Structure 1
Amino acid sequence: MERLTLFIGAAAVVTLTFIALQILLAPLIIVDAKSDVADPTQAESKKIFMLAVQGPVVDLHKGMSRLVHQWVRYRARGTGLIWLDYEQKKSNAVKVRSTGDKKLLLKDMNPPFDCASCKGSLHAADFLKLLSLLAACVSVTAMLPAIIRVAVISGNGVGHVFVTAVFVTLPLVAVAALLHFPVAWLIQWLYRTTPFSRALDEYRKQINCKEETGPDSAHPRNHGLQVLILRGLWKHFESFILDRNMHFVVANIVRPLTQSKRVSFVSLWGGRQLDYFVSHCWGANFSHFVRSIQCHALSKEGPISWFDAAYWICSFANNQWNIGAELGDDPMGSAFARALTSGIKGVAMVLDEEVQPLTRVWCLFEFFLSNRERLDLVFVTNAGVVGDDRCSSFDIALEVGKKIKSLQVATCEASSEKDKKDIFEYIISELGSLERMDEKIRKLMAEMLMRNLANVEKATGSLVDSLGQGSATVETLDKDHL
């Protein structure tokens, strides 16, 4: 009877401690994470970072979940965000605060720029103090009364009974140790799937790859992506992409889809021979980007075959697992230059209202090379091709023109200082100065604005004529009625 009492107490301590350990060790799977502003009403409000997660900790009672977050720091892994992912040398474990149903706010760390992620996980660190406290509380409430009761009934000393309790506990600890790995695996398996991971799996099933063959298949000229596939990708992940940019798309969609084969996204579908080259900035809204490409395809290929046009888009054409090889030893040896000089139909430079591409060094290199190769380069927005007959929206074109007016090539940036230096040196060797490049950009934009203005005047004139005819008809009807 005494041994049974001790066994029940030991079982309670080991079981509850084991459950607590499994809950603390189980990762919190990130469902969605994004930067935001602390106070949208203030222009200079600081950035915050919100995470929607799933895992055992956030399934606890709210009070218990908050207690865990107060005691524990987390190590982020696999988010694709360099500033957030844990590195031992940086020791950048983070604290979080619960803000609602399975939602967390990052504490004491603000995102350096707008960013988002639908992958990765948070792993508890420094939780031994909390686990020890929980084990001590359980021992005091479950084991200590059992030891005292047995000591009183048996007449043995408390120390003697305590030693007996330890020996009773050891087999239970051994069983818990054996169960640890299968239970930990089961918990991770139960929580591993998110809405986004399901969307990735569904998209993988849609991919119909035709193997690229032939000695020329690896050349960038054969890495074109059809508009139909680009639009299909956007539509499939639209509810996750929202207003996010190419950085999000590459980190969360392109890289996971290509990880097993470590190839470019285009290679998954089988590349097409290029029709057009796209110059763009990864910081622009992805939905804006897709609509802009669609506008360009409609403008150049017409309403019947626009969806079949093939575009070279670096995010999808380059192998994101081997970027060094794609960039080459110098700008002219890069995949960008090889695609531009492969006899394509033209170049679409996708611009937003901030004209971000013209602030990036690689885009300027693409502009320069397009000009040198006498390619049909046009500026494109989600309203259409600037200067095209179909584009009669002048406000966007005018806003872009204002930005370009004050643009200076010398102030443009690149993610690599070496790339910036090499490209600037190349442009100067060809044109004599960076200021000459400024002149070329402004001249091209001026020509497009003039064509765009003519289209606006034409559209306005047609509308006025239609309204005038309508007024004349109304006047005639009024006279007949009288």
Structure 2
Amino acid sequence: GGFTTHSFPPFPGSTYTTISMAVTPTCLAFVSYERELYLLDMESNLELITHDYLGKKNTSAYASISFDQLIQFRNEAREKYGPNDFLQKKMYHVVDDIVKPICAQTNTSYARYLNPNGLHTEAFVTHCWGEPFGQFVESIEAAFKSRFHKPNLWICAFALVQGSGEVVQKQVDVPRLEDSPFVQALKQSKSFVVVRNPNVDIYSRVWCVCEVYFAKKFGFFPKSVDVVGPRSFSHAVSGCMDAESSNPKDKYTILRELMKEKFEVIEEIDGLIRKLRDISH
């Protein structure tokens, strides 16, 4: 038989409605709305064949690295630079020196280089690149030090293909902000991890503001938010409309999205930003 496009009730073992199916003399195959491919044999044994059907694992939500991979990357970077120089290195240094060459060689992101089949996002990490890289990793360690299960981490430096400005911009230049890799990954995540640093107020950066906006929209506040790093900018008074971006187009796109909201929503985002700057951990 051939594939159909009719809807069917959920099959045993799947909570999802079927959107297409095929029948052979020995088995039945069906695809759920969650793009999972199942096989049901003649003895009613159900098997989930893949979550990757129709390319699901090619989405931004699967461009994560494991907690252990981040620790290993930190250790290798420290060995590369030497203990003293490593302390001075910021995120953009390790991206330029380590991540970009791998992206250029493999034509993929560092996360995909480590995990060719994809790794689903469990914790979305919001931060800025002016931070000391070693302190950034220490903050991540602090966030999950008491967790038995260490989550897979979506970190933009590893999730996007790093290269020239044009290469990066092409990945974030989407018709709707909701379709950006940042927002798509955040939507599929289980937690929102805010990593502050002593050098730069992360909420002076417009993408970090954008991530707070969507984290609120997706229901992460207050129970699924972790805040780590120093309270160095707890007295900062700037709001979301004051945030800057290295690319003016990004700032325009994000602020335009915020300005669609009622004034009360903007005030609420500013209130969340003040709390995130000030909260102790």
Q: Taking structure 2 as the reference length, what is the TM-score of the superposition? A: 0.70
Q: Closer, same or farther in 2 for the Cα pair 1:247/1:445, shift >3 Å? A: closer
What's the CA shift string for 1:443-480, capped at 9, x where partnerless? 4556x44xx5xxxxxxxxxxxxxxxxxxxxxxxxxxxx
Which of 205, 211, 233 is the equivalent residue of 1:366?
211
Tell me the residue number matched to 1:57.
none
Q: Distance in 1 between matches of 2:71 and 2:233?
A: 25
1:378 is paired with a residue whose SS is strand
Do 1:245 and 1:285's aligned partners in 2 also have CA atoms closer than 8 Å? yes
Do 1:284 and 1:352's aligned partners in 2 also have CA atoms closer than 8 Å? yes
Q: Which amino acid aligns with 1:305?
A: H
Tell me the residue number matched to 2:227.
379
Do 1:223 and 1:274's aligned partners in 2 also have CA atoms closer than 8 Å? yes
Which of 138, 149, 152 is the equivalent residue of 1:305?
149
How many angstroms does 1:431 deviate by? 3.8
Do 1:408 and 1:438's aligned partners in 2 also have CA atoms closer than 8 Å? yes
Q: Does 1:333 align with 2:179?
A: yes
Tell me the residue number matched to 2:43.
none
Q: Does 1:402 align with 2:235?
A: yes
Structure 1 residue runs of 5 or longer lacking an equivalent are 1-211, 382-395, 453-482
How many angstroms does 1:378 deviate by? 2.7
How many angstroms does 1:273 deviate by? 1.0
Do 2:201 and 2:233's aligned partners in 1 also have CA atoms closer than 8 Å? no
Q: Distance in 1 between matches of 2:75 and 2:276?
A: 33
1:250 is paired with a residue whose SS is helix
Q: CA RMSD, aligned part only?
A: 2.2
How many angstroms does 1:438 deviate by? 1.7
Q: Distance in 1 between matches of 2:276 and 2:108?
A: 36
Tell me the residue number matched to 1:441.
273
Structure with the larger RCO, 1 or 2 (CA within 8 Å, 6+ apart): 2
Q: Does 1:234 align with 2:78?
A: no
1:349 is paired with a residue whose SS is strand
Which structure's residues are more often helix, by fraction? 1
Q: Distance in 2 between matches of 1:317 and 1:327?
A: 12
Q: Distance in 2 between matches of 1:213 and 1:323?
A: 25
Q: Taking structure 1 as the reference length, what is the TM-score of the superposition? A: 0.42
How many angstroms does 1:305 deviate by? 2.9
Tell me the residue number matched to 2:18.
none
Paired residues, number: 215
Tell me the residue number matched to 1:7.
none
Q: Closer, same or farther in 2 for the Cα pair 1:292/1:444, shift >3 Å? A: closer
Q: Closer, same or farther in 2 for the Cα pair 1:228/1:431, shift >3 Å? A: farther
How many angstroms does 1:426 deviate by? 0.7
Which of 169, 172, 177 is the equivalent residue of 1:324?
169
Bigger CA radius of gyration: 1
Q: Which amino acid aligns with 2:168?
A: I
Q: Distance in 1 between matches of 2:63 and 2:263?
A: 33
2:58 is paired with a residue whose SS is coil
Structure 2 residue runs of 5 or longer lacking an equivalent are 1-50
Question: Where does structure 1 differ by over 6 angstroms across 4 or more consecutive aligned residues?
Answer: none
Q: Does 1:275 align with 2:122?
A: yes
